[in-house]
Chains A and B, each alone.
Chain A
């Protein structure tokens, strides 16, 4: 880029019916282990519409995990929050261990985009990191190009 800024990108897709099934099977235990109060209050409407919103948020959380790259201890799902603004756009808010990982990675800003269509919800998260150990050299980028899948 020429600015010395590093970028991390995470993406994830989520089958909406799986979220519907989890809500039906585990109810509030599922909801309260994964989503914050703000997220639950942002996801309103009937079952299909609510499940789509919840699924998009889960995809955003997973996409953020891919950006944070935790080793060992996995941050609490609720420490990665999708905040919906009154105008309709969303941002990510981190707390606890997730915030620590972001700080360690030099992440200065996170951007998120959520979508859902038909049976699937998806999210992409982009992180801007300060220049540091994480910023790949040109040699690293050439080497990594050969084995870049990251599709788990």
Chain B
């Protein structure tokens, strides 16, 4: 799952740095992800994992790190 998340972040996150240099716990917003980019990341995650983020999960914290995204996707896929 992590590889897929990182692939999506690399494609849609518009980071000024190589996503491979971002650690699991690093703050993605501090690393350069904008709010608009986070929307694209969310939509790409929905496509890739066949999920839909409910409004209750639309918090900055849901997408603030690779680890947080992994937890959120895991919660929605039941894995």
Chain A interfacial positions (CB closer than 8 Å to B):
14, 18-19, 22, 25-26, 29-30, 33-34, 58, 62, 65, 72-74, 76-77, 152
Contacts and interface: CB of A to CB of B under 8 A. Distances in A.
A62 B37 CA distance: 12
B34 to A, nearest CB: 8
B35 interface: yes
B6 interface: no
A91 to B, nearest CB: 22
Interface of B: 14, 29, 35-37, 39-40, 43, 46, 55-56, 58-61
Which of A14, A26, A72, A76 is packed against the most chain B CB atoms within 10 Å? A26
Nearest to A70: B60
Nearest to A25: B40
Contact of A72 (B46, B55, B59): B59
Given A18-B14, A26-B40, A65-B35, 20 more contacts: A14-B36, A19-B36, A22-B43, A25-B40, A25-B43, A29-B46, A30-B39, A30-B43, A33-B43, A34-B39, A58-B36, A62-B36, A72-B61, A73-B56, A73-B58, A74-B58, A74-B59, A74-B60, A76-B55, A76-B58
B40 A22 contact: yes
Contacts of B60: 74
Given A18-B14, A72-B59, A152 B39 contact: no
Contacts of B39: 22, 30, 33-34, 77
Nearest to B37: A18
19 contacts: A18-B14, A18-B37, A22-B39, A22-B43, A25-B43, A26-B40, A26-B43, A33-B39, A33-B43, A34-B39, A62-B35, A62-B36, A65-B35, A73-B56, A73-B58, A74-B58, A74-B60, A76-B55, A77-B39
Contacts of B40: 22, 25-26, 30
Contact of A73 (B14, B36, B59): B59
Nearest to B38: A74
